[in-house]
Structure 1
Amino acid sequence: MISQIEKQSAQEIKHFQNQKLIIQLAYVQANSLFYQNHFKKAGIDIQSVKTIDDLTQLPVTTKTDLQENNEDFFCVDPVEIIDFSNTSGTTGAPVNFGLTEEDLNRLAFNEAQSFSCAGIQKHDIVQLMTTMDRQFMAGLAYFLGIRKIGAGIIRTGAGVPALQWNSILLNKPTYLIAVPSFLLKMIVYAEKNNIDINNCSVKAAICIGEPLRNQDFSPSELAKRINAKWDIKLYSTYASTEMSTAFTECEFHQGGHAHPELIITEVLDEENKPVKPGEVGELTITTLGVKALPLVRFKTGDIVKIDYTSCPCGRNTNRVGPVLGRAQQMVKFKGTTLYPPAIHDILNAFKEIESHLIILHTNDIGTDEVTVKIVSQLFSNELIQNLKEKFQAKLRVIPNIELIASDELNKLVLSNNSRKPKWVIDKRK
């Protein structure tokens, strides 16, 4: 189900997106109160923006803009909104997003293209192990995308290993959509209940919310732990509510493919200038074809690099590499710059650690401090020493390490009935 534009040349894709960009800019200029004021304040005439290269003339849009001017972004009459979603509020106040009929069709097309990258076809059965309630756009998108492909869907929802395995053994899904760390709990349950996981129907999992790749695309420690026990293919996908678009790996696992019909990507430095190809910066996007709440040069907060080379799968689209971290969560710790995913990767390598939480805070002298809270039934001085050695070797710094009970950790990561667990809590001033 590969879109034809994705296999055209880079020049043809750029020409295609240039035309889409002009249409989208005219649309927001005519219908978005925010962008009318945003462009006017910057002294911008959108008629001068003819190509993607001209985007640098436009001011960026930030999450703060969205939070403070949420209603002014909407481009349609409220009566046209048929689905009401919002962001999770992981890094600030939640933002309301409405979707029109056209937006829902676009969302379905997006996930159908993304899941096609990972090999899902009409004959497959997909077990959807994520919530569709609580205004969670991603769960709805997964459902719509699978439906558009024509594959079977099992909506088991999140959690409960026993329920997931009962469904797998009964309904025989070929793909799972799940948070990868939960797959480890699935493995533990299977081992305790004599389930032969490598002889079940599941051949692959599309993993959300946690990284499966290092910056060189080698498997993360989490991916290694899963595949050490469960011989299934793991596909990484990256998305956000604001983008209404997903970037999913193909079988070559060299980054998540962008879809030219849906999104324009830029990578910007701290001064909002484009970085050189292959350099790291903040992913900035312009949505295409969105009717209710389109975004122009929106800074996602995610630090990435983009690969512009052709992929062996035949697609010539840009590929977004593994997220290095969130710009807001960059830590200057004891003279070293680091992001929480690097800490997660080290902790995931230790089988003795059942779960963990990273807390960022400010110490008495006003500098960043990092505390790691771990749940472990095999806690020992040897474990602590091994952890410290691994942190020193890989990050050159050692965070504070504290033992915490499982129920206490769950209260922290699922505070305020959040629909998404918060594995990083930023308490810095």
Structure 2
Amino acid sequence: MIPDIETKSAAEIEAFQEAKLKEALDYLSQNSPFYKRHFEQHSISISEIQTLEDLTKIPVTTKDDLQRFDDDFICVPKSKIIDYVTTSGTLGDPVTFALTDADLERLAYNEAISFACAGVKSEDVLQLMTTMDRRFMAGLAYFLGVRKLGAAIIRVGAGIPELQWDSILKFQPTYLIVVPSFLLKMIEYAQQHHIDLNSSGIKGAICIGEAFRNDDFSLNTLGQKITEHWQIDLFSTYASTEMSTAFTECEAQQGGHLHPELIITELLDEHNQPVKEGAIGELTITTLGVEAMPLLRFKTGDMMQAHHSPCQCGRTTLRLGPIAGRKKQMIKYKGTTLYPPAMENVLNNFNQLESFVIEISHNTIGTDEILIKIASNVPSESLLGQIKDHFRAKLRVTPKLEWCDKKEIDALRFPKLSRKPVLVIDKRK
């Protein structure tokens, strides 16, 4: 189930996207209060935007624009809206997104071809281990995509290893849709209750929300800890509410594939100009085929690298590598630039750690400070020293570390209305 456009040459894909871009610009100029104003304020004539390179003539759209002018992005009458979702608000106030029936159909198509990209077939059974409530787009998207693919889905929801294993043993799913660190809890429960992980029938896990690969696509510490016990394939998927599109790994597991019919991507530097090929930049997207709230040159805040070499799966589309970090969470610490995922990877090396949370703040002179709160049932000065040594070896700096009670950390990691664990608390203004 590879869409024909995903195997075309780079020139054919570019021409295809340029035609789609003209349609998107016409639609926005006619229907979007925000973009009508945007074009007028910046004296932009959309007829002059003929190529993907011409996009740089249009100022970018930011999360701040969405938060300030949310309703002005809606392009349809209220009577056409049939679903509302909200962003998770990781880097600011949540934003509401409206969807029409056509948008839900597009969402289903996106996830169906994304699951197929990872090797899921119509005869497979998937266990959904994320929430579908709390106005969460992802859970709904996964359900719609599996249904469109013709596969079966078991909606268990998040958490509770006992319930997850009960469903696995009872219904025998072949794939899990899951936050990867939760697989460690699944492994722990299985070992305690004498469940044979590798005869459970699970072939793979579609993983969301956390990185388990290094920049070269090898497994990082989290990925290694999962697969050393459970011999399943791990597939990375990157998506966001704003994009209404997913970048999912194929069976080659060398980055998430672009769907050219759904989205245009740019990687930009701090001056909003394209970075050189192979360099890390901020992912900036233009949605294609979205009816209610399409976005043009929207800066996602995610820093990553694109890979353009052909893939052994037959797709010729670009692939996005693991997220280096979020731009707003970049830390300048003792002369070193850090992103939280690098610190998480160091901490995941220590099985003795039960939980942790990273706090970023400004000190009295306005420079960045890092405090990592850690919990262990065997805290010791020796373990603390080992963690500090590992930080020095891997990142060249050692943040401040503080032993805390696990309940205190869990209260920070799982705020009441959050739909996913909070690993980073940024107190900087």
Q: TM-score scaled to structure 1, two decimals?
A: 0.99
CA contact (8 A) 1:179 1:207 kept: yes
For residue 67 of structure 1, what is the amino acid of its counterpart? Q
Q: Which residue of 2 aligns with 1:226?
A: 226
Pairwise CA distance, 1:311: 0.8
Q: Which residue of 2 aligns with 1:401?
A: 401
Q: Which residue of 2 aligns with 1:344?
A: 344
Residues 176-204 of structure 1: per-residue CA shift (max 9 Å, x gap): 00000000000000000000111111110
Residues 295-322 of structure 1: per-residue CA shift (max 9 Å, x gap): 0000000000111221111001110110
1:111 has 2:108 as partner: no
1:180 has 2:171 as partner: no
Question: Which SS does the other structure have where 1:229 is aligned?
Answer: coil
Aligned counterparts of 1:389 and 1:309: Cα–Cα separation in 2: 37
Question: Which SS does the other structure have where 2:38 is aligned?
Answer: helix
**Which 5+ residue runs of structure 2 have no aligned equivalent?**
none
Question: Which SS does the other structure have where 2:247 is aligned?
Answer: strand
Pairwise CA distance, 1:173: 0.4
Aligned counterparts of 1:196 and 1:68: Cα–Cα separation in 2: 52
For residue 215 of structure 2, what is the amino acid of its counterpart? Q
Residues 228-285 of structure 1: per-residue CA shift (max 9 Å, x gap): 1111000001000000000001111111001001000000000000011111110000
Q: TM-score scaled to structure 2, two decimals?
A: 0.99
Q: Which residue of 1 aligns with 2:16?
A: 16
Aligned counterparts of 2:416 and 2:197: Cα–Cα separation in 1: 35
Residues 355-408 of structure 1: per-residue CA shift (max 9 Å, x gap): 211110111222100111112112211211110011001111101111222221
Residues 328-363 of structure 1: per-residue CA shift (max 9 Å, x gap): 000001111010000000111111112211110111
For residue 253 of structure 2, what is the amino acid of its counterpart? H
Question: Which SS does the other structure have where 1:417 is aligned?
Answer: coil
Q: Which residue of 2 aligns with 1:152?
A: 152
Q: Which residue of 1 aligns with 2:92?
A: 92
Aligned counterparts of 1:415 and 1:167: Cα–Cα separation in 2: 27
For residue 337 of structure 1, what is the amino acid of its counterpart? T
Q: Which residue of 2 aligns with 1:81?
A: 81
Q: Which residue of 1 aligns with 2:164?
A: 164
Aligned counterparts of 1:419 and 1:196: Cα–Cα separation in 2: 30
Runs of 4+ in 1 over 2 A off after TM superposition: none
1:298-337 superposed matches below 5 A: 298-337=298-337
Q: Which residue of 2 aligns with 1:371?
A: 371
CA contact (8 A) 2:355 2:410 kept: no
For residue 298 of structure 1, what is the amino acid of its counterpart? F
Question: Which SS does the other structure have where 2:337 is aligned?
Answer: strand
For residue 99 of structure 1, what is the amino acid of its counterpart? L
Pairwise CA distance, 1:129: 0.2
Question: Which SS does the other structure have where 1:237 is aligned?
Answer: strand
Aligned counterparts of 2:21 and 2:180: Cα–Cα separation in 1: 36
CA contact (8 A) 2:414 2:420 kept: yes
Pairwise CA distance, 1:416: 4.1
Question: Which SS does the other structure have where 2:98 is aligned?
Answer: strand
Pairwise CA distance, 1:14: 0.9
1:267-278 superposed matches below 5 A: 267-278=267-278
Question: Which SS does the other structure have where 1:112 is aligned?
Answer: helix
For residue 422 of structure 1, what is the amino acid of its counterpart? V
Aligned counterparts of 2:297 and 2:163: Cα–Cα separation in 1: 42
Q: Which residue of 2 aligns with 1:123?
A: 123
Aligned counterparts of 2:215 and 2:334: Cα–Cα separation in 1: 23
CA contact (8 A) 2:268 2:281 kept: yes
1:348-359 superposed matches below 5 A: 348-359=348-359
Residues 16-73 of structure 1: per-residue CA shift (max 9 Å, x gap): 1111000001000100010011111111100100111111111100000000000100
1:411 has 2:411 as partner: yes
Aligned counterparts of 1:40 and 1:393: Cα–Cα separation in 2: 53
Aligned counterparts of 1:12 and 1:394: Cα–Cα separation in 2: 43
CA contact (8 A) 1:39 1:59 kept: no
For residue 352 of structure 1, what is the amino acid of its counterpart? Q
Aligned counterparts of 2:156 and 2:296: Cα–Cα separation in 1: 36
CA contact (8 A) 2:240 2:246 kept: yes
Residues 77-123 of structure 1: per-residue CA shift (max 9 Å, x gap): 01100011010111111111011011000000000111111110001
**Which 5+ residue runs of structure 1 have no aligned equivalent?**
none
Q: Which residue of 2 aligns with 1:26?
A: 26
For residue 409 of structure 1, what is the amino acid of its counterpart? I
Q: Which residue of 1 aligns with 2:261?
A: 261
1:241-252 superposed matches below 5 A: 241-252=241-252
Aligned counterparts of 2:81 and 2:409: Cα–Cα separation in 1: 38
Aligned counterparts of 2:422 and 2:36: Cα–Cα separation in 1: 36
Aligned counterparts of 2:151 and 2:406: Cα–Cα separation in 1: 37
Aligned counterparts of 1:249 and 1:17: Cα–Cα separation in 2: 21
CA contact (8 A) 1:353 1:374 kept: yes
CA contact (8 A) 1:76 1:292 kept: yes
